[in-house]
Each structure stands twice: as structure tokens, then as C-alpha cells.
Amino acid sequence: MTRPLTATGPDRSAAPDTQAVRSAATANGGRAVPGAEKRVTVRVTGWSLHLPDADGLATDLADWSGVAPQRLAGALAGAVPADRAYEVLGRKGLLYKEPATRLALCAVHRALGLPPGRNLPTGVDPTTAVVVAGNLGNVATVADLARTVRAEGGRAVSPLAAPNASSNVVASTVALWFGFGGANLMICSGATAGLDAVRAATLLLRAGRAARVVVVGAEPADEVATGLHQAGRPPFPLRAGAACLVLTADPGSADAGTVDGPGAGGGAGLVLRPAGSPPAYRLLGLGGFDPAARWGDCYGAAGVVNLALAAALLDAGLAGPLAVACGDDTDGWRAAVLDIDGGRLTVLDDGRGAAVFDADGREAVRDGGRGAER
């Protein structure tokens, strides 16, 4: 899954079943924002989906989109569960790694196009940043450590297990494993975390803090994580999975507008549609084809998973634009709109997101004749 694609930073939005675009300035109370309308040219040089037992999802996507199933099967094939991560990563170094961490490592490994087995970095790359989205990755360890300390005291805590109590453990492990020495962030912002992470990655590129950003979404489905997820009364069960996008930006592109990316003329690019653009005719997320309803809820990773699924669909020949959404009524909503643009990518990055959705619009997302118009 390393064919060069392009993707966009997310737009702030309200619930995707109320789909009209309004001005981002309105969302900001009419106040001016420094850097408004500044464009950043970003490319996705790698992407992957690591969703165990998702064969049925490929079939459902094919039925919904009209894309041949075999064009999608490859994107979702080869995803092993966390306890078999050694088949992708090799055995060395996986001891005491949590399920979410193992799934994240598998997703990055595949997005980078690495062969199976441990591939040690030759050095530290200070220009590559890591942004990971997830909410439940280490909750099982935190609960276990709390029980151990309460029952036996702090000395009973294993020094191998203690580092997993850090909320940043997934992001830091990805950076250490692959030798990424740039900024390192873990986004735990609830149901919008996936597209919040994409947004943060875009800001890192725009500010020149990184030349490449590895964006990962990963969630486990252990007993503790599942219990916490169910406490919020979600409509769909938690499923363990991960996805990865590798984002880059051309030097000076923040002032250059749209430029040719890798694959121009032969490859396909994904374009963020700013406010006022023609509507998207298909939606991945609540209100359209919802992977959470068809396969399971990746919760904090859903935005990255949905964006990678959109990339797979467009790469397989589906006509765009495609809208991607994640969130819920408690945590709010984020969305991105992707389209094919001849191997080029434009990200409208105005510091707030290019647009938001509000309650009265039916023109932001339509289902292309395959469902109710939104």
C-alpha cells in the first residue's frame, strides 16, 4: 500500500447527519485568524490498513461503492491480530508491548513498505514526526498497575510493565522502533482523535517542524478497554485495529499553492475541498457507509481508519469526492473531503480547518443515489 497518494487535513464539523458547509469565520465568531487561507501542499507517500478479520468489510465496501471486490481485498488483507504481530515485525522487542502498540507498529511497518521481520533503523531521523490517535491503548496496564500497587505496593510493579502506563507509550514506541526523532504526540481527544491527529500533523508540516509525519490510529479491544467503551453506551462494539498515513510537504509549499506530487500524470491525488466547493457524493462515517456499523468501532482511531479506507477506494478507481467523518454527540465531529486531482494535493490550512458543518445543509454530502440525500 505504498503507491503515492495524497490526503488532507480535516475540517471542523458538526454531526455529519446535518451536512451543510458554512463559513469557518462564522465558527470563529467572525474574528480574523492569522494565516487564514494559507495553502500547504502535502502528500501521502504511504498508507496502510491493519484491521484483523475485516474480509467482510471489503465485500461491504465493494457493494456500497461499486468497486470490484478484488481491488479492495488487497488493502485489507494480511492484518494479523496483536498476538501474532511477530509475523509482521519479527519476535524480538515485542515482549511487554501492549496490543494497541503492536497493532500500531504493524500499521506503520506496512505503510513504509518494509518486508516482514524486524528492520532496525540505521539511525535517528530528526525530520520525521509521529502523531498517534487512540484513547484506550494503555488502560489495561494502568488498571493492572493500580491494582498491584494497592494490593502489594509500588515495589511489586514490574519495571518492564511500568513504561506502558505512560499515555504516550504508543507514539513513543513507534518513534523508537523506527528511528523517528521528530515531534512525538499522542492524541487522546475522544471520538474525533483520528482526524485531530491528521490536523496536528498538517500543522507540524505547515510550521516546518517536520518534513514527514507518520500518523497512526490504533485501539485495542481488551476487557478493560471494552468495558470503558461500553460505559459510554456506543451504538457499535469496540474492535481492535490500526491504520497509518505518511504525510510529507514540499519545502516552501505553504506559499506555493498546488504543485505536482509523486505520481503526477499517472498516480492519483486526494484533495481537500474547502468551504463552498461542490458537494461530496459519498460519505465514510455516520450517515453514510459507516465502518463501525459494518465491522466495529475503532473509536479514537476511526478518523485515520476512515481516511485510509477512502484512500483505498479512490486508489481502486472510485470517483470522488469522498467525505470522511468521525466523532459523536459527546466529543463533537470532524470531517475531511477527499477527491482525485491528477496526482496533486492541496491542503487549505487556515489554522481552524477550512470549513465546518451546521444544521441546515443538504449540499455538503450526498450518497450518489445509494442512500438518502443528506
Q: What is the pLDDT of residue 322?
A: 81
C-alpha–C-alpha distance, residues 118 and 89, integer Å: 5
Task: Classify residue 279: in a domain, yes or no.
Answer: yes
Q: Is residue 218 within 8 Å of residue 103, measured between CB atoms? A: yes
Q: Are 316 and 276 in contact (CB under 8 A)?
A: no
C-alpha cell at 140: 489495561
The packing angle between helices 55-65 and 69-76, to 10°, is 140
- Classify 243 as helix, strand or coil: strand
* Residue at grid coordinates 485568524: 33
In a domain, 252, yes or no: yes
Give dist(CA 313, CA 327) in Å, integer. 21
Alpha-carbon 111 to chain mean position: 12
Q: For residue 369, is it within any domain?
A: no
pLDDT tens for the chain, 374 residues: list them.
433 343 333 333 333 333 322 232 223 333 333 444 345 667 777 789 999 988 889 889 999 988 888 888 888 888 999 999 999 999 999 988 999 999 999 999 999 999 999 988 889 999 999 999 999 988 988 998 899 899 998 888 888 888 888 889 999 999 999 999 999 999 999 999 999 998 899 889 888 899 999 999 999 998 999 899 989 888 899 999 999 998 887 654 433 222 222 222 223 344 444 444 556 668 888 888 999 998 999 999 999 999 899 888 888 888 877 888 898 888 888 887 776 655 433 333 333 333 323 222 223 333 332 332 22
Q: Say how far apart CA 39 and CA 262 lie, in whole Å.
A: 18
Main-chain dihedrals φ then ψ at residue 50, nearest 5 degrees:
-125, 80
Task: Kindly state whether residue 366 falls inside one of the protein's structural domains.
Answer: no
Q: Using an 8 Å Cβ cutoff, are 272 and 348 in contact?
A: yes
Nearest to 284 by CA among 246, 240, 335: 335
Q: Is residue 371 part of a domain?
A: no
Residue 182, C-beta contacts closer than 8 angstroms, at least 6 positions apart: 125, 126, 127, 128, 129, 130, 175, 204, 209, 210, 212, 213
Grid cell locating 118: 524486524
Would you give the distance in Å from CA 14 to the centre of its chain?
Answer: 19
Are residues 366 and 291 in contact, defined by beta-carbon separation less than 8 angstroms? no
Residue 373 lies in a domain: no
Phi/psi of residue 46, nearest 5 degrees: -165, 155
Sequence-ordered list of residues with C-beta below 8 angstroms from that of 295, at least 6 positions apart, any chain: 51, 54, 56, 57, 60, 239
pLDDT the model gives residue 40? 61
Per the domain annotation, does 105 fall within a domain? yes
pLDDT of residue 125: 94
Q: Give the number of domains in the chain.
A: 1
Kindly report the CATH number assigned to the domain that includes residue 214.
3.40.47.10
The pLDDT of residue 364 is 35
The answer to whether residue 135 sits within a structural domain is: yes
Strand (E) or helix (H) holding 101: helix 99-111
The confidence score (pLDDT) of residue 260 equals 28
Residue in the structure block whose three cell numbers are 511489586 = 156
DSSP letter at 340?
A: B
Domain span at residue 194?
11-358
Q: DSSP string of 48-99? A: EEE-TT-HHHHHHHHHHH---HHHHHHHHTT---GGGTHHHH-STT-TT--H
Task: Give the H or E element holding residue 143.
Answer: helix 139-152
Count of beta carbons in the 10 Å neighbourhood of residue 321: 22
